[in-house]
Amino acid sequence: MQPADSPAVTEIAVAGEKDGPYGITAGPDGALWLTLVQSGRVARLTPGGDLRTYALDSPGCRPTVIAPGPDGALWFTRYGDHRIGRVTVDGDGTSFPLPTPDSGPFGITPGPDGALWFTEMHTDRVGRITVEGEVTEFGLPGTAPGAYPSAITAGPDGALWFTLNQANAVGRITTSGDVTTYPLPTPGAAPVGITSDGTALWFTEIAAGRIGRISVDGAIEEFPLPDPAARPHAVAAAAPGECWFTEWGGNRIGRVTAGGEITEYALPTPSSEPHGIALGPDGALWAALETGGVARIER
C-alpha cells in the first residue's frame, strides 16, 4: 500500500498499446528518449509533454535499450535485426551491423573510454562500438554457454558491469577485456537490470523478487521485496544509496536505499507493464510502460 506521503505519479500516453515503449533514458537535449520495441520506432518526449516519434529503417528491428552517447546522439540496441542503432536529437537515424550473426544485443551504456558497450545475449559476448561504428567483441571466459548477458552499465571503478541472467551472476569487464564474474547468493535469481549510483552497483533479480547491491570488490547484498512475484526489471540510481526500479509483475515503481528500506508505489493503470526507468532532466523518475505510456514519479 502506498504511504500517505507517496510521490505523485502521472501517466502520459506516448504510443498505441501495441507499440511497446520499452527503454527510456535522458537525452543531452533535455528530453526523454524511448524505444518502441514492437513498432520499430524511437520517441522523444519533453518533460512538458511535447512528443515526437521517428520511424527506423526496419519496422521489425525491435529497438530495446537506449542510452546517450559521448557524441551527443542516442544509441540503442536492435534486438530484432542484431544491429546497434544511433539517432541524433533531430531524429536522423543510422545503424551498424555486428560481426557475430544472430547475437541478440540487449543492454547498452556509454563507457569510460569514449565508446559504447553492449551485451550480446545469444552469443555470450560483450561488445564495444566506437562513435564511428567500429565494433569489437569480447567473450566471457569461464562462463558456461547460455549465460545470457543482459543489462550493462559503467561502474565507479572504470570498468563495465553487467548481469548474467541465466548464469545467475554479475560480471565485470575492463576496457581491455578482462572478465570477472560474481555468483549470486540466491539460486535462480535471474538478474536483469543494473546501474551504478557512483559508489556501488545495483541490480534486479527478476525471478527471485529481490534487489541486489554489489560493491566494486564483489561483496553482494540482497533485499527481498514484499511481493516475491513482483518481477523487478529495470533499475536507475537517483543518488548514492538511492535506487529506483520497475516491478513488471507487480505494476509498481519501487525505491530502495543502501540500508535496505523499500518503498513501493502503485501505478494508476492496471497491468501497465513497466519496463525501463530513468532519472529525468526534471529530477523525477520516468518509466516506460509497455502498454503505451510513460509514468512520471516525483521524488
Enumerate the β-bridge partners of residue 223.
211
In the chain, helix, strand, coil percent, each to 5? 0, 50, 50
pLDDT digits (tens, 9 = 90+) for 278-297: 999 999 999 999 999 999 99
**Upper half-sphere CA count for residue 91 (Cβ side, 13 Å):** 11
This prediction has a pTM of 0.96
Catalytic residues: 275
Dist CA 76 CA 64 (whole Å):
7
Q: Is 91 left (phi over 0), alpha (psi -120 to 50) or beta?
A: left
DSSP letter for each residue of 131-193: TT--EEEEE-TT--TT--EEEEEE-TTSSEEEEETTTTEEEEE-TT--EEEEE-SSTT--EEE
What is the identity of the amino acid at 295? A
Q: Are 64 and 74 within 8 A, CB to CB?
A: no
Q: Residue 6 has what pLDDT? A: 64
Q: Are 54 and 91 within 8 A, CB to CB?
A: yes
pLDDT classification of 96: cutoffs 50, 70, 90? very high
Nearest to 57 by CA among 91, 84, 94, 23: 94
Q: Residue 216 has what pLDDT? A: 97
Say what percent of the chain tops pLDDT 70.
98
Which has the minimum average pLDDT: 6-15, 137-146, 168-177?
Answer: 6-15
Phi, psi of 265 (to 5 degrees): -130, 125
Nearest to 217 by CA among 176, 261, 278, 170: 170
Q: 157 pLDDT exceeds 50?
A: yes
Nearest to 84 by CA among 138, 38, 126: 126
Mean pLDDT for the stretch of residues 163-186: 98
Q: Residue 1 has what pLDDT? A: 39
pLDDT digits (tens, 9 = 90+) for 97-145: 999 999 999 999 999 999 999 999 999 999 999 999 999 999 999 899 9
Q: How buried is residue 115: exposed, middle or buried, by Cβ count under 10 Å (0-12/13-18/19+)?
A: buried
Question: Angle at Cα 220 formed by Cα 218 and Cα 223, nearest 5°?
Answer: 160
